[in-house]
Chain A
Amino acid sequence: MAMFRRLYGRDGPGHPVAMLLTYAITGYAVWAIFQNAEPWTVLLWLGGAIVLHDFVFLPLYTAAYRLAWRVGGVDQDRRRRVIALQHLAVPFMVSLLLLLAALPLIFSLSPGIYRPTTGMTEEPYLERWLAMTGALFVLSGIAYAIRVRRAGRP
């Protein structure tokens, strides 16, 4: 048992059995995807999603956050700055989420298929996204002003 632990890294049969089952199911599914596609195009998507998130977006929003934190110099009121950052971060996040979810519509990436299929155009989506983003920041700003005012009251 001790030798198994040294070689494998966990006690007992539960972990390796669960891993075996997991890789059996997912391995079969990945193999099935490859039957209908050039493997590299699928790997590009599955792997690309991880790489893009962890090595592009994560450093970007970490850097943006650190930068936003430094801008404005050293403030003695840390609590107020945390709240200000939240009121910027939340509308930014929601706006980005809407952008990603409706990306092809917002940037009219498929007018040749969308219009004849649905009988509508993708034109309104960019305007709607800009308006929604503006509204989110304005609402968040109003909420911030109310919070600061309340906190400032004795």
Chain B
Amino acid sequence: MPKFYAWPPARSAADVLERGTYALIIGSSIFLVFTGLWNIAYWLPWRFGFVQAHFYAAFVFVGAFLGHVAIKLPVMRQAFRDRGVLRPPARGPRQHARPEPFDEDSSAPLEPDAPTISRRGLIGVVGGASVLMGALWAGQSVGGWTRSTALFAPRGQDPEFPLSQGFQVNQTAEKAKITQDLVGDDWRLEVVGRERLRFSREELLAMPQHTEDIPIQCVEGWVTWQTWTGVRLRDLAIMAGVPDPDELEVKSVQPAGAFDDVVLRGSRVTDPQALLALKVNDEALSLDHGYPARIIVPASLGVHQTKWVGRLTWRPA
């Protein structure tokens, strides 16, 4: 029986307050872990905005946890003083272990059962389970051959549906309702500044090309590093007559889906690594990865690496 259910539940105002913080720690930690994992698997069995709720639930957890540590500092200090810092509380085999005597301020259980697992065994099981979880999820971000070990990650791989160009797609062309008419030979990139220019994909490919290794970093917890080739955004700003831009509005031709209109600011767009990418890993972008052209800028979020770009609007400082 966990100590949480000691009866009577509270003997003083201080106890009531302390137990309230336990409820906050337990509730918020389970909430954070599972809504987070289920959200990235696109199952949303709740009726509130996930992002705000998750963000503020983290404050609930951290606040309640810090408060808990603060009020338990005297208990911790006493325990370390009595028993030493690294000295194990019990020695010898498990079957000789005796339960810790019940004490108001310790976490010793009320009615302990006979011991079944040693402390080392418990730490081994929890640690081993954590390592296994890490190993079964990490491949989606490490990429390469490890992608086949990401057996439970939402962005691993499905042998029957190979990933376009070998790395994950956050939003397929189908979901964004991209059709051949929108991105075929008639597609033109419109660049607006002091001038208003239009370029075909061939004209963009004829400009000076630059190649950069830049990650797509998704808020859903994965990263994928690829090698992108295309035109520097800075060069397009100069052509549009805005050599010292403050912000860039990127408009996608996508008729559906979020983030079709994004504003990037400051060094994100003036950095020499910031590209309008036309190729990835020396191949033309696939439709799912944003053909004919997508934004690839360093130190940005995946959702701001706009695909199927139709118009760039430069605004001077």
B residues within 8 A CB of A38?
Answer: 47-48
- Whether A10 and B56, one on each chain, are in contact in the complex, defined by CB atoms closer than 8 angstroms, is no
B residues within 8 A CB of A134?
Answer: none
A residues within 8 A CB of B121?
Answer: 86
B199: Cβ under 8 A from any A Cβ: no
Which residues 145-186 in B have Cβ within 8 Å of A in the complex? 151-152, 154-155, 157-161, 163-164, 168-172, 174-175
A residues within 8 A CB of B31?
Answer: 45-46, 49
Interface size on B, residues (CB 8 A): 77
A residues within 8 A CB of B151?
Answer: 128, 132
A35: nearest residue on chain B (CB-CB)? B52
Complex CA–CA separation, A86 to B125 (angstroms): 10
Nearest CB in chain B: distance from A53 CB, A: 7
B residues within 8 A CB of A15?
Answer: 14, 71
B34: Cβ under 8 A from any A Cβ: yes
- Whether A16 and B14, one on each chain, are in contact in the complex, defined by CB atoms closer than 8 angstroms, is yes
B residues within 8 A CB of A97?
Answer: 129, 133
Nearest CB in chain A: distance from B103 CB, A: 16
A123: Cβ under 8 A from any B Cβ: yes
Given that A26-B60, A49-B27, A104-B43 are known contacts, is A37 also in contact with B12, CB under 8 Å in the complex?
no
Which residues 98-126 in B have Cβ within 8 Å of A in the complex? 114, 116-117, 121, 125
A76: Cβ under 8 A from any B Cβ: no
- Whether A101 and B57, one on each chain, are in contact in the complex, defined by CB atoms closer than 8 angstroms, is no
B53: Cβ under 8 A from any A Cβ: yes
B206: Cβ under 8 A from any A Cβ: no
Interface centre among B133, B152, B157, B288 (most CB of A within 10 A): B152
B residues within 8 A CB of A143?
Answer: none
Besides the known contacts A21-B67, A29-B59, A29-B63, 12 further A-B residue pairs in the complex with CB atoms under 8 A apart: A22-B67, A22-B70, A26-B24, A26-B67, A37-B47, A94-B129, A105-B152, A116-B174, A117-B172, A118-B168, A123-B158, A128-B152
What are 17 of the A-B contact pairs (CB < 8 Å)? A22-B21, A22-B64, A23-B20, A26-B21, A45-B35, A50-B26, A54-B2, A82-B94, A86-B117, A94-B132, A104-B41, A110-B44, A116-B174, A119-B164, A123-B158, A124-B160, A129-B152
